[in-house]
Structure 1
Amino acid sequence: MRIFVINLKRSADRKVHIIKQLDNLNIAYEFIDAIDGQGLSDDEIKMHGVDTFPPWFSFNQRHLVKGEIGCILSHLGIYRKMIDEDIECACIFEDDCVFEKDLGIILKNEQLRRSDYELLLLGHSGQYQDTSRGAECSSKKEPVLSRYHIAKPVERPFGTYAYIIKQCAALKLLQYAYPLRLPMDCLTGHAQAIGVKLRILTPPIVTHNVTLGPSTINDRDSNSRLYVCKARRIKCMVGRKYPILRMIKKICLFPYVTLLLKLRKAGILDGDSYAEKRYFRQNSLAKYPQPPVPRNEK
Structure 2
Amino acid sequence: MQLDGTDHWQVFVVSLQDATDRRDKIKCQLSACSIPFEFVDAIDGRAGLAAEHEALIDRPGTEVQFGRRMTDAEYACALSHMSIYRRIVEGSLPGAVILEDDAIIGAMFKTFYQNRAYGCTDLIQLDHMHGDIWKFSKREPLIEGVKIAKAARNASLATGYSISHKAAAHILKYGLPLRGPADWPCNVTVLPTMLALPRVVDHPEWEHGDSAIEAERRAIQSEIVKEKRNLRRFFKWAYWRRWWFKRRTTRIS
Query: 4+ residue runs of structure 1 moved beyond 3 angstroms?
Result: 39-46, 52-55, 254-259
Measure the CA separation in 2 of the matches of 1:113 and 1:120: 7
In the TM superposition, residue 216 of structure 1 has moved relative to its aligned partner by 3.3
1:33 to 41, 45, 68: 41
Instruction: Return the TM-score normalized by structure 1.
Output: 0.68
TM-score (norm 2): 0.79
Q: Deviations over 1:2-39 (max 9, x none)?
A: 10001101211111111111111112111111111124
Work out the CA distance in 2 between the residues paired with 1:99 and 1:42: 33
- The alpha carbon displacement at 1:203 in A equals 1.0
Contact 2:97 2:118 in 1 (8 A): no
2-side partners of 1:93 and 1:63: how far apart?
25
Q: Equivalent residue for 1:91?
A: 97
Q: CA deviation at 1:141?
A: 1.0
* Residue aligning to 1:153: 151
Cα distance between partner residues in 2 of 1:83 and 1:113? 17
1:60-209 pair list within 5 angstroms: 61-109=67-115, 112-113=117-118, 115=120, 117-126=121-130, 135-138=131-134, 139-187=137-185, 190-192=187-189, 195-209=190-204
For residues 105-139 of structure 1, give each alpha carbon's deviation from its aligned partner in whole angstroms, at most 9, with x where no partner exists: 111225x2552x2111111011xxxxxxxx23343
Q: Which amino acid letter does the alignment assign opposite residue 22 of structure 1?
A: L
**Residue of structure 2 equivalent to 1:219:** 216
Residues 222/16 of structure 1: CA separation in 2 closer, same or farther (3 Å cut): same
* Aligned equivalents of 2:148, 2:70: Cα separation in 1: 32
Structure 2: tracts of 5 or more residues without a match: 1-8, 234-238
Deviations 1:245-271 (A, max 9, x none): 79xx9xxxx999676344246xxxxxx
Contact 1:154 1:261 in 2 (8 A): no
Q: What is the letter of the counterpart of residue 201 of structure 1?
A: A
1:13 match: 21
* Matched residue type, 1:47: A
Q: Compared with structure 1, are the counterparts of its residues 18 and 157 closer, same or farther at alpha carbon in structure 2 (3 Å cutoff)?
A: same
Secondary structure of residue in 2 paired with 1:140: coil
In the alignment, which residue of structure 1 is the partner of 2:12?
4
**Are residues 255 and 24 of structure 1, via their aligned partners in 2, closer, same or farther at CA, if it must alter by over 3 Å?**
farther
How many residues get paired?
231
RMSD of aligned Cα (Å): 3.1
Preserved CA contact (<8 Å) 2:118 2:163: no
Aligned CA distance change for structure 1 residues 261 and 61 (closer, same or farther; 3 Å)? closer
Percent of paired sites with the same residue: 26
Q: What's the secondary structure of 1:184's corresponding residue?
A: coil
Gaps of 5+ in 1: 127-134, 225-231, 240-244, 266-298
| Paired letter, 2:216 | D
Contact residue 155 and residue 261 of structure 1 kept, 8 A: no
1:220 is aligned with what amino acid?
Answer: R
